[in-house]
Amino acid sequence: MSMKPRLETAFERMLFRSRWLMAPFYVGLVAALLMLLVVFVRELIYYVPQAFAADHAMSSNDAILAVLTLVDLSLAGNLLLIVMFSGYENFVSKLDLEGETDRPPWMGTVDFSGLKMKLIASIVAISGIQLLKTFMNFAELGQAVNESEA
């Protein structure tokens, strides 16, 4: 049985350690999650006063669109969390959180194919919400055109 050449062993170690080059990507995704939080809070601050305004400034369609916007941002945040945790655990390093009592049960068990399925499901849900918002905007636009023609 022959031993591996030193050059091959050194190359394999360097290749294995290169996985840490992905760590800054996950830090960037944390920044993206913070961006989503800022947008979510800004949308919430914008819509809540309209819902409670005395002149009924928010119609039911506007309320539905506001809720869909908030749900959409929440789903995008969930998607980011799934990518961050699963990607980090699958490609960089295991999270050492054994003592944590509130650790989600899926953490540490989602493999690459499971991650793809979660991503696809989230993207379908986000796309469905965007499509529904677009249809509702078209319905409002069509109603406004009909009213202006009358």
Q: What percent of the chain has pLDDT over 70?
A: 85
Mean pLDDT of the 120-133 span: 84
- How far is CA 19 from each of CA 13, 32, 84, 118, 119, rounded to the nearest angstrom? 11, 21, 14, 23, 22
Answer whether residue 137 shows pLDDT above 70: yes
The least confident of 59-68, 82-91, 104-113 is: 104-113
Q: Would you report the helix, strand and coil content of the chain in percent, each value rounded to 5?
A: 75, 0, 25
Token pair, residue 141, equals: 């636009």
CB 36, CB 71: distance < 8 Å: no
pLDDT tens digits for range 31-77: 999 999 999 999 999 999 988 887 877 888 888 888 988 998 998 99
Residue 84's pLDDT is what?
A: 87
pLDDT-derived band of residue 28, with 50, 70 and 90 as boundaries?
very high
Residue 52's pLDDT is what?
A: 86
Mean pLDDT of the 104-125 span: 76
pLDDT-derived band of residue 93, with 50, 70 and 90 as boundaries?
confident
Q: Which residue has the higher pLDDT, 42 or 105?
A: 42
Residue 1's pLDDT is what?
A: 47
